[in-house]
Structure 1
Amino acid sequence: MSSKIRLGILGGGSNSLIGVVHRIASSMFDKYQLVGGIFNSNHKDNLGFAKSIGLPSNRVYSDLDILVTEELKLSKEKRIQVVSVLTPNFLHYSMAKKLIENGFHVICEKPLTTTYAEAKDLFNAAEKANIIFAVTYTYTGYPMVRQMREMILNGVIGKVQKIDAQYYQGWINPIIHDVEKRKNTWRLNPEKSGISCCIGDIGTHAFNMLEYVSGVTIESILADLNHVYEDNVMDIDGTVLLRGTNKVKGVICASQIATGEENDFQVKIYGDKAGLKWEQENPNYLYLMEEGKPIQTLKPGHEYNSAISLDGTKLPPGHPEGIFDAMGNIYKGVARAINNEEYNVGEFPNLLEGLRGMNFIEKSVESHKRGNVWVSIE
């Protein structure tokens, strides 16, 4: 019998980009075997998609209740061990809660839920059940992001004194100016997306990344959000000022109406000795900046990188890796945790990070609605 971790997936079928990313990522390192799931809400489409990727129909289920019931009938050596939740935001909580209560490990897309209260309930339930729960803040899987984190932890840039993240996209620009289109986009529907679009979708990536690489805990924020039209209840652009531990200050600028931008995510951490800068669209380059010296460019795969960076590098220097590889590194970290192997705490984003992300989303909206005032992050 295969020693691979048996994986189930909820969502991510048909033409889903995120579904492709997760399936390819899980296949890296030979740690997982996809054995079943629910890929589409329409069961006929569900079965058709499963067949197209080579899965037998007997473990493709019509709903989550049936999946749980049928899988628990199988022996521990055969049943699904971990389930990836790739559905729209409003389904995350109920699905993850059901999985936790029945002993399945969980890998969940972000944002974790649609409310902080739901996220806190999941956190408590997962702790009680002692299961592994990962939240896919995918960019933390890039080797040079992990290198950035290790360099800061080891004092290369000195005492952190400013944190800065910019995440600009333009995809919603053609939609937001058309009344009918914006009414029919699930990202702009609070019943499916939650209370925030831009901050909930990409701003939370920036929040997580800044804490992940810098070691700073963000303690309070002041947000100024933009809806563009009065009948659009969801933010699609925003600026958030940050105050963190050790009196560190910073800013997150996020937008989905940055016309012409594709996926421009930049992270900059400045210390009293040096600064580090990383750009998602050029992920193989980490820039080290020191006063009076030429900028140094660090790249993955070289011996000067940290153990966690090298562990996440699959190819020799000069061979670009990308988003699939970053997600694959997260799946590898989860596999180590499930298998009770030794792993670095930075190998995958955990449930606490998902919980803090939800708190950040709600507090950003609260700060904006209260007239752009400072509010505390729990």
Structure 2
Amino acid sequence: MSNKIRWGVLGGGGDSLIGVLHRVAASMFDAYQLVGGSFNPDVEVSTAFAKEIGIPTNRIYKDLNALVDAELSMPENERMQVISILTPNFLHFPMAKKLLESGFNVICEKPMTMTYEEALILQAIQQKNGNIFGLTHTYTGYPMVRQMKEMIANGEIGEVQKVDAQYYQGWINNLIHDKEQRNSTWRLMPEKSGISCCLGDIGVHAYQMLEFVTGKKIKSVLADLNHLYADNEMDIDGTVLLRLGEFTKGVLRSSQIATGEENNFTVAIYGKKAALKWEQENPNYLYLLEEGQPMRVLKPGHAYNSDVSLDGTKLPPGHPEGIFDAMGNIYKGVAKAVRGQEFHKSEFPGMTDGVRGMNFIEKAVKSHRDGNVWVGLE
């Protein structure tokens, strides 16, 4: 029998971009074997998709309950070991809860849940059962993001004094101005998306990234969000002021109505001695800025990078890597954890990231609703 990790998937069928991303990522490093799942609420559609991608159909299930019941009836050395949740937001919590309670390891898309309270419930279950839980804040998988984190931790830029994250997209601009479309898109429906669209979808990436690379916790926020139309309940743009300490502050800007933008995610960390900047659309370049010195550009694959950065680099220097590779590094880290191997704490985001992310979303929305006031996260 194959020594690969037996992997199942919920959602992500058809032409789903996120489904392709996860399947390609899991295929890297030869660590996983896709054995089944439930790709679509219609089991016939799900079965047809399984045939299309070339996996057996005997473990294609009509829903989560059928999957759990069938898999638990199998010997432990045959059942699925890791299950990925690639469904719309409102299904993340009930699916993750059922899987964790049933003893499965989980990889989940973000946001982890619909509410902070749900996130705390999942955290308690995981702590009790000891499951591995990975959350796909994919950008942490980029080698130069990991290098950025290591350089900051080693004091190479000095004490952090200013942080700045921007995540701009323009895709909602194409539909928000049409009343019918803005009232029929699931991401703009609170019952399916949660209390936030923009912060919940992309702003939380920026929040997690700032805490990830700096190693610091954001302590309080002041948010000013934009809904653009009175009949739209969900934020589609927002600016959030941040306090990480008495003298460490910053700003987080996210938008889905930044006309013409594609996936413009940037992060800049300014220290006492130097600064580091990274851009998702040019992910193989990490910029180092120092007073009175020419800007330096660090690139992946070189010996000057940290061990965790080099571990996530698959190709020789000068060969660009991208989003599939970043997600592949997340899956690689989870595989190490599932197999009981030693792994670096930076290799995959987990439950704590999900809990803090949901707390950030709720507190930022509260800050806006209460009249743009400071709200503590701790």
Aligned counterpart, 2:201: 201
Deviations 1:230-271 (A, max 9, x none): 000000000000001463100000000000000000000000
CA RMSD after TM alignment: 0.6
3-state SS, counterpart of residue 149 of structure 1:
helix
Matches of 1:76 and 1:227, distance apart in 2:
49
- Alignment match, 1:22: 22
Q: Given the alignment of the two structures, is residue 188 of structure 1 paired with residue 177 of structure 2, yes or no?
A: no
- Tell me the amino acid that sits aligned with residue 79 of structure 2: R
Once the two structures are TM-superposed, the CA of residue 151 in structure 1 deviates from its matched residue by 0.3
**1:57 positional shift:** 1.2
User: Who is 1:311 aligned against?
Assistant: 311
Instruction: Give the superposition deviation at 1:157.
Output: 0.1
Q: Which stretches in structure 1 are left out of the alignment for 5+ residues?
A: none
CA displacement 1:318-351 (0-9 Å, x = unmatched): 0000000000000000011111111100100010
Gaps of 5+ in 2: none
The answer to whether structure 1 residue 340 and structure 2 residue 318 are counterparts is no
1:256 alignment counterpart: 256
Q: Deviations over 1:3-59 (max 9, x none)?
A: 111100000000100000000000000111110100011111110001111111110
Matching residue of 2:88: 88
In the alignment, the residues of structure 2 paired with residue 234 and residue 135 of structure 1 have an alpha-carbon distance, to the nearest angstrom, of 23
CA deviation digits over 1:255-314, x for unaligned, max 9? 000000000000000000000000000000000000000000000000000000000000
Residue 154 of structure 2 corresponds to residue 154 of structure 1: yes
CA distance in 2, matches of 1:97, 1:117: 13
Inter-partner Cα distance in structure 2 for 1:365 and 1:40: 32
Q: Secondary structure at the match of 2:8?
A: strand
Match of 1:135 in 2: 135
Query: Does the aligned pair in 2 maintain the 1:216–1:248 contact within 8 Å?
Result: no
Letter aligned with residue 340 of structure 1: G
Kindly report which structure 2 residues correspond to 1:195-344, keeping only aligned pairs within 5 A, or say none: 195-245=195-245, 247-344=247-344
Matching residue's letter, 1:302:
H
Query: Per-residue CA shift, 1:141-196, capped at 9, x if unaligned?
Result: 00000000000000100001011100000000011000001111000000000000
Letter in 1 for 2:115: T
Aligned-partner SS, 1:257? coil
Provide the rounded CA distance (Å) in 2 between the counterparts of 1:377 and 1:107. 25
Kindly provide the amino acid, as one letter, of the partner of residue 341 in structure 2: E
Counterpart in the other structure of 1:115 = 115
Cα distance, 1:216 vs structure 2: 1.4
Letter in 1 for 2:347: E
Question: Residues of 1 paired with 2:150 and 2:358: CA distance?
Answer: 26
Q: What amino acid is aligned across from residue 207 of structure 1 in structure 2?
A: Y
Q: Is the 8 A contact 1:220 1:377 kept in 2?
A: yes
Tell me the distance in 1 between the aligned counterparts of 2:128 and 2:377: 24
Deviation at 1:215, TM superposition (A): 1.1
Please give the residue correspondences for 1:4-83 in structure 2 after superposition, counting only pairs within 5 Å. Answer: 4-83=4-83
Letter of the 1:338 counterpart: V
Q: Which residue of 1 aligns with 2:104?
A: 104
CA contact (8 A) 1:170 1:257 kept: yes
Q: Which residues in structure 2 correspond to 1:161-176 (within 5 Å)?
A: 161-176=161-176
Could you state the TM-score of these two structures normalised by the residue count of structure 1?
0.99
Q: TM-score, normalised by structure 2?
A: 0.99
Matched residues, number? 378
| Residue identity in the other structure for 1:3 | N
Contact 1:190 1:234 in 2 (8 A): yes
The separation in 2 between residues aligned to 1:54 and 1:128, in whole angstroms, is: 37
Identity %: 67
Alpha-carbon distance in 1 for matches of 2:83, 2:355: 19
